[in-house]
Amino acid sequence: MRRLLLLTLALGAMLTPSRWATGQTTLPSTGSDPATAPQTVLHEYVPDGADLKELLDLSARTGAGKLPSGFNQQGSELPKPRDGVSPRPAEPTMSRRGSQRDRQTSMDRETTHEGTLHYHVVFNPSVVPFKRVSVLDAASSSFDLYARDPSYREIPLRKITNAPDRTYFWGSLLLRARRGERIPIPSVAPGMVVHGYETVPAGVGVRFYRDGTDSFAASLSRTRRRRVRVRLLVSAPTRYFSYGIPAGLTLADVPSARRPSLHPKVRRVAARMIARLGISESDPLKVVLDKLVAHFRAFEEGPLAISTGNTYADLTISQRGVCRHRSYAFVITALALGLPARYVTNEAHAFVEVWIPRLGWIRLDLGGAASQMRVTGAKGRRIHRPLEDPFPKPLSYSQGYTRLSGAVTGLSPAQRRGPLPRSGHGAIRNGQVGGITSSGSRSVAPTARKIKAGVAVLLSVESARTTGLRGDPLTVLGTVSNASGAPLAGRPVELLLRRPGSKSLVILGETISGHHGRFKLVTTIPLAAQVGTYQVVAYSPADRRHQAGWSN
């Protein structure tokens, strides 16, 4: 039977599920009016029996020297890496001497096409081209970027918990080091944690470290200098990849302890650039970020138009440069505004991270300009496809290699698909369940002609969560079948919120049905959704064999 789910948005945030338990209630003080006094209710996620068993089983099979054989995530089975000590094609061996980690950078003025870039895949799902290798978070008086706190601190392995807001990745690294020597290793996000590892040859102890920029390192217990393969199971906060900017925030909401400090010389030059961009420190934070992203994503490759003697100012005014130039100029401008920001690079790309109150660090890509990107190590690996970010996307950005468009080799057509959904998590689509079209160019429901041909698709939304706060994690479960009840695997499914009686649909995200036609979407309640009651509906588009279908 086709089903949909009703969700209720509470004032001040998101949807609270029936599988959420009340942890604590702050009652009004004596003499106050219970009807008007504020009450604070804390909630704790309680997974259902199947979810909890899967998480506990996975946790029991991780740790030092052990990993599970695989896990399922959003309808895809991700098996444990099988690589040995022999390098994969074009795979580098990571060592202290061969480290690509930068602790400081001076920006160049070579703002034309970069030619061919090479990127090697380490994680599965792959975050190509966004693995984190070097991270810089401060600016010197000479406008150089550097790592403010490069000192490492050991981090323990973490047990997998029932937290619903994390995305899991396999990692496979080839290391060579003396005993105890710390080797810089890539990461997928600042909040990455390691749940377990195995080594080839077996029995090598591994320790993991993190520095003040959330860059990672590893050390081996083996004394002889030889290759050691380290297979990892790691996870990262889903919000780092897929997010919305909470309403009502301004730069004043950044805590003083997090506000970056800049040399007065840098601040004076940056203040002139901020004025040129029309940014006021009293603007809502979403407006500030929209203006910053729109400006730095609109950079083009080509020679600088002016020469004032200051490369940062010349880049910002000219809007010329490739990924490293726009990311460098963005970070200095954000730091001058009092917004924590980081310059992140790997062998093929530079992008930025921004710290947002109530969210933490988010990844923000500004695009680039490369003639070609060659990807190695991607065979047999899934590509991580987060939800679209909510910021402006000029045409020059949308068609760039960082979105796996253009001259990108080493990836299959299926691997080169962009983020989901293309219209953005939390975006409003004007349409109606059972209607003909949305405000966009594609059909959102089958027409009478389509109904006559193809296999009918029936969708069911079966998640038990029913209430919550905007911005909180949300997991939606359901099934896809044909008219006879047979499950349909591999079907694309888009999940949306629909307010009863309204034509507006709020996008939650997209996923693909797996075994037995089941699908799972791990996302958050859109911050753009207004307080109220919604239906969670599932939609599957038409193709040559199937009709389009809705869950109700």
CB 256 within 8 A of CB 211: no
In the 8-state DSSP scheme, what is residue 88? P
User: Rounded to an integer, what distance in angstroms lies between the CA atom of residue 17 and that of residue 15?
Assistant: 6
pLDDT of res. 436: 24
Q: DSSP 3-state assignment of 536?
A: strand
pLDDT digits (tens, 9 = 90+) for 342-353: 999 999 999 999
Which are the contacts of 540, defined by CB distance < 8 A and separation ≥ 6?
457, 459, 480, 491, 492, 493, 494, 546, 548, 549
Three-state DSSP at 315 gives helix
Dihedral sign, CA of 149, 151, 156, 157?
positive
What domains, with CATH codes, occur in the chain?
Answer: 5-16+424-550 (2.60.40), 65-101+119-137+148-240 (no CATH), 241-409 (3.10.620)
Sequence-ordered list of residues with C-beta below 8 angstroms from that of 137, at least 6 positions apart, any chain: 145, 147, 148, 212, 213, 260, 340, 341, 342, 343
pLDDT at 363: 97
Give per-residue pLDDT as tens, 9-56.
443 222 222 232 322 222 222 233 333 333 333 333 344 555 567 767
- Low-confidence residues of the chain: pLDDT under 70: 1-52, 55, 74-75, 98, 162-164, 223-225, 399, 418-453, 464-465, 470-471, 527-528
Nearest to 204 by CA among 235, 226, 187, 184: 226
